Structure 1
Amino acid sequence: MTFLYPRVGLAVLLSLLISACSDQTSTMATPSHLTAAKAKAIQLCAGCHGPQGIGTAPFNPNLACQKKVYMVKQLNDYRNGSRTSHLPMANIAKMLSEDEVDSISEWYSITGCP
């Protein structure tokens, strides 16, 4: 019987650790603006840039883990017409609000990063 008590104590300790870890991850949920950004990115961007930001063809750039400030600048350049190299991107960027440009860029900047 003396062996039973250390095992019970270990089982209780392990269950507490597991529940503490799962509680911690639930408090680190994606903020709502990034949830909306992900949905918008999947709707408008995933066809070419993939649902996780990995380009679907060799000539489509990866957006996963890209710097947010870079993506904001590129999207704004498409929106204001100073970048005209790809008409589909210009048309898509013009459909985005300033807040959407910011939040989608933020979402891609943290997606797929190690």
Structure 2
Amino acid sequence: MKKKVWLLSSLFTAALLTGCDLSGDKSPEFRAIEMTPRLEAAKNKALALCSGCHGPYGVGTADFNPNLACQKKMYMVKQLNDYRNGQRNNHIPMVNIAKMLTEEEVDAISTWYSLQRCSIDTL
């Protein structure tokens, strides 16, 4: 009887592990970003306006600065537009920066940050 339980347990464990990567290599794969002129302009604008707090590639420069890398594009568009139109006014520097951006720049910068260091698994 114990052999039967052990065999069933072993088969169940094997079934659970089927398809699991047990190689130990945990380095994520990242999507290649095709830098179009629109994304290049967005990157340059983000470097000029955003990188002081959010880092050059969207990783906050301090614990209280949020990461923008791999953030959902529509979330960032909404937040920037809320700053631009006064619905969100709790951070005056962000209000001022967002008001300097056109709708197209908001969209492009949000796209650029959303593509930064995105693991293929998170898409």
Deviation at 1:29, TM superposition (A): 3.7
Task: State the 4+ residue runs in structure 1 displaced beyond 6 angstroms.
Answer: none
Q: Deviations over 1:60-109 (max 9, x none)?
A: 00000000000000000000000011000000000000000000000000
Of 71, 78, 84, which aligns to 2:83?
Answer: 78
Of 53, 76, 80, which aligns to 2:58?
Answer: 53
Q: Percent identity?
A: 67
TM-score normalised by length of structure 1: 0.75
Greater relative contact order structure (CA < 8 Å, 6+ sep): 2
Structure-2 separation of matches of 1:84 and 1:36:
27
Structure 1 gaps, min length 5 = 1-24
Deviation at 1:113, TM superposition (A): 1.1
C-alpha RMSD of the superposition: 1.2
Query: What is the aligned partner in structure 1 of residue 106 from structure 2?
Result: 101
Structure-2 separation of matches of 1:29 and 1:63:
19
The count of corresponding residues between Structure 1 and Structure 2 is 88
TM-score normalised by length of structure 2: 0.69
